Amino acid sequence: MLKKLFKSFHSPLRRAPRPRSTPEVLSSSQHPLKRNEISRHAISVVERLQKAGYQAYLVGGCVRDLLLDIDPKDFDVATSATPEQVRAEFRNARVIGRRFKLVHVHFGREIIEVATFRANHPQGDEEENSNLASRHESGRILRDNVYGTLEDDAQRRDFTINALYYDPTQEHILDYARGMHDVRNHLVRLIGDPEQRYLEDPVRMLRAVRFAAKLDFEIEKHSAAPIRRLAPMLRDIPSARLFDEVLKLFLAGYAEYTFDLLLEHDLFAQLFPASGAALKQNPQYTEKLIRQALINTDDRIHDGKSVTPAFLFAALLWPALPARVLQLQNKGMPPIPAMQEAAHELIAEQCQRIAVPKRFTIPIREIWDMQERLPRRSGKRADLLLENPRFRAGYDFLLLRELAGEDTGGLGEWWTDYQDANDSERRQMIRDLAGKGESTGNAPRKRRRSNNRRKRSDESSGE
């Protein structure tokens, strides 16, 4: 009882003692960072926290990217102030998160994310305060709000290249983990024991791949070694979190290289089990279709065009669909119902692993449904399909299938010509299809029921 009583007076800064380390300090003449390259709002947050008596630095990806002459997508701040203390300094701030409590300071559309220095979780006989820190029995961190010093925070970060702290007031960089060395040598290296760090958070395996692809770095050999063995641990990650991670992997302009790294480290099948199985059963077609979809996605991003997760997920999952449709057809189910049922099952299974929202699963099914409807062009069907809001996505997907090697009998070329044709040319194209005896998707005409039987029945009843 006394032990628990004394523990209740300990602050959140309580942690296991360990030797201190001294960071390498790089002055403004030793690095290329300039204040005018940095968001003025981020600098104002740092300076205001420092004036209030707290330590505060720009940290992580923004520092790394500036060193590599890449425009940071956002700016993060690390500070000795607790989330509540940060919130008290900024009226335009909001505390968010439970697993990892943060503060968002809003400046119009720009958000500066502020995190309190974290420390290692209690070790050995020390008991964790479940309100501050908790772990799964596998070692995965479930809550991470144990606060510490700047040195603690540096050692708690995942990769050395993300553990660089920049003080815009002094224009110094603090490097506790030899991050500058790895930036210069283009290495993604975990801080600490790689296996333990992956066990704490298996998503770090995906982050290692993402940074390697984005920066064109190599994953350092000791950091890469446990990934294939520990890849199945991704099954324990909440499906909603994996959806966010997959968007970061594939919608940042380097999706094709990311795909190569995911395959190399046996991570792709953990994210897309059915597609991973299709890669084994039909590797040439499956890889070609997925790769072409990722190339197209990268090209659109580099050209400043919009991309939709629905089309990307439709391509990533498509190779697993035809075999399921065929199984249902072999059981006597007609083609369109078979497609709909197989699509429903496949998407439901995938959502167990990655929580794809309904706003994307509905368009995925509509894109797939168009693949059954595009061959059906007789009468007014072709014109009605052109007016369908999913026609363009379905047509693009048809071309993707053809690029991957599917034989559609020239269907993609026909639809390309039909879109460019005038009205009379379109009518002739429909007549030519019928004249050549080609399949236009006509369903057998149903026999009309005779009204004689009903008339006789009406007469007998006196109506």
Question: Which residues participate in catalysis according to the annotation?
Answer: 74, 76, 158
d(CA 458, CA 454): 6
d(CA 54, CA 52): 6
Q: Which residues contact 32 (CB under 8 A, 6 or more apart)?
A: 66, 67, 69
Query: Looking at this protein, which amino acid is placed at residue 62?
Result: C
Is residue 198 within 8 Å of residue 161, measured between CB atoms? no
Is residue 157 within 8 Å of residue 191, measured between CB atoms? yes
Largest CA distance in the chain: 106
Is residue 145 within 8 Å of residue 133, measured between CB atoms? yes
Dihedral sign for Cα 289, 290, 295, 298, please. Answer: positive
Read off the tokens for 210. Answer: 């993402």
In the sheet where 76-79 sits, what is the strand order?
Answer: 24-26, 172-175, 164-167, 56-59, 76-79, 110-116, 102-107, 93-96
